[in-house]
């Protein structure tokens, strides 16, 4: 299993000699992002087992607007489902079968561990700030389409979980909860994903938004367990541009945000080895997701979210359309 290029956790790079404080967080839906995503949707690729009338295909059978097939009548069948038009043509009793439609229930699981706080000073948004914007945009799309959105924040354990709601007003408590957290503590994917596997009441769409610094074996097992429960899983992998490109060009002190370990290194001499390790780690992470049927998307915080997210959702919808 490939290790993270920064051991198991990311580091804070400090080549400026200091850092400033951060203003209180206030998460809002960026109007530019909402406008760019207005023609897109976050939908399930496969049938989901929902619980209310809506527009998503459900594997359950019942009375609905979408006809599937007819089958011969057998004694004990509900007479309300008889196809009288077919009886008039064939003189044989048949039962109409329909495919229920249901609301999608989307659970957004957002990493609020200390590593998501990079960079932890100045005016530049942190990975957690970016992840909050991702969660806000996806929640907006889900609620706009009258589907259910729920939110869970985690570090080494799952904190508050907002139950799913289809009300457009549910976006407000989601944004409030995202605003209330500051990145802290270490990450424990085994405990967190295990908890969510038991906590989510019915199969739906699960979106993990994280930098994924941790044991990839635990990540893989957690995703596999969610998929085994019938969930469709998406991984939105949030990395800072510094972590992707390693732009440091002088003697630099790195500080591990989750253990406070410090290391002073010659950054230019370390750069190629770091980038090689990063590529190996990303390839392994993609493999972990692919082998479990999990959709994976890398988000670079230096890229405008409306551009990155619209490209991903557009490609996802195109794949879904091609698969029908």
Domain positions in the chain: 5-49+103-323, 60-102
- The two tokens of residue 91 are 């003189």
Interstrand relation of 205-210 and 232-239 (parallel, antiparallel or unpaired): parallel
Q: What global pTM score does this model have? A: 0.80
Residues contacting residue 106 through CB under 8 Å, at least 6 positions apart:
42, 138, 139, 142, 147, 148, 149, 150, 164, 204, 205, 206, 207
Alpha helices in the chain (DSSP H): 31-36, 84-90, 127-144, 171-180, 189-199, 216-228, 241-245, 267-290, 305-323
Contacts of 123 (CB under 8 A, 6+ apart): none
- From first to last of its 324 residues, what are the pLDDT tens digits of the chain? 455 554 333 344 444 433 445 556 889 999 999 999 999 999 887 655 544 444 555 555 544 455 556 767 755 556 777 888 888 888 888 877 654 445 789 999 999 999 999 998 777 899 999 999 999 999 999 999 989 999 999 999 999 899 999 889 999 999 999 999 999 999 999 999 999 999 998 899 999 999 999 999 999 999 999 999 999 999 999 999 999 999 999 989 888 777 778 889 899 999 999 999 999 999 999 999 999 999 999 999 999 999 999 999 999 999 887 765
**Which residues are within 8 A (CB) of 259 and not within 5 positions of it... i.e. 6 or more apart?**
9, 186
Residue found by looking up tokens 């406008």 in the block: 35
Please provide the DSSP assignment of 106-146 as one string.
EEEEEE-SGGGG-S-SSSSPPHHHHHHHHHHHHHHHHHHTT
Tokens of 170: 């549910």
**CATH class (in words) of the domain with range 5-49+103-323:** alpha beta
């Amino acid at each position: 299993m490939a290790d993270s290029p920064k051991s198991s956790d990311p580091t804070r790079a400090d080549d400026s000699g200091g850092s400033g404080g951060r203003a209180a967080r206030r998460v809002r839906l960026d109007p530019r992002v909402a406008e760019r995503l207005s023609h897109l949707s976050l939908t399930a690729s496969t049938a989901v087992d929902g619980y209310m009338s809506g527009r998503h295909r459900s594997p359950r059978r019942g009375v609905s607007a979408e006809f599937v097939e007819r089958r011969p009548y057998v004694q004990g069948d509900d007479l309300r489902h008889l196809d009288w038009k077919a009886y008039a043509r064939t003189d044989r009793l048949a039962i109409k079968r329909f495919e229920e439609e249901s609301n999608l229930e989307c659970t957004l699981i957002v990493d609020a561990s200390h590593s998501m706080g990079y960079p932890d000073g100045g005016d530049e948004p942190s990975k957690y700030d970016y992840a909050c914007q991702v969660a806000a945009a996806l929640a907006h799309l889900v609620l706009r389409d009258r589907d259910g959105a729920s939110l869970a924040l985690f570090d080494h354990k799952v904190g508050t979980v907002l139950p799913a709601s289809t009300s457009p007003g549910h976006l407000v408590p989601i944004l409030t909860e995202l605003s209330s957290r500051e990145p802290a503590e270490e990450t424990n994917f085994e405990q967190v994903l295990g908890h969510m596997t038991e906590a989510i009441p019915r199969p739906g769409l699960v979106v993990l938004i994280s930098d994924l610094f941790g044991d990839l074996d635990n990540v893989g097992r957690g995703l596999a367990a969610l998929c085994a429960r019938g969930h469709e899983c998406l991984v939105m992998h949030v990395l800072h541009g510094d972590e992707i490109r390693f732009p440091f060009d002088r003697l630099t002190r790195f500080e591990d945000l989750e253990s406070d370990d410090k290391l002073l290194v010659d950054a230019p001499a370390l750069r190629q080895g770091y980038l090689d390790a990063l590529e190996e780690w990303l390839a392994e992470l993609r493999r972990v997701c692919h082998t479990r049927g999990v959709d994976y998307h890398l988000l670079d915080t230096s890229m405008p979210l409306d551009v990155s997210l619209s490209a991903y959702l557009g490609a996802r919808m195109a794949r879904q359309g091609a698969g029908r």
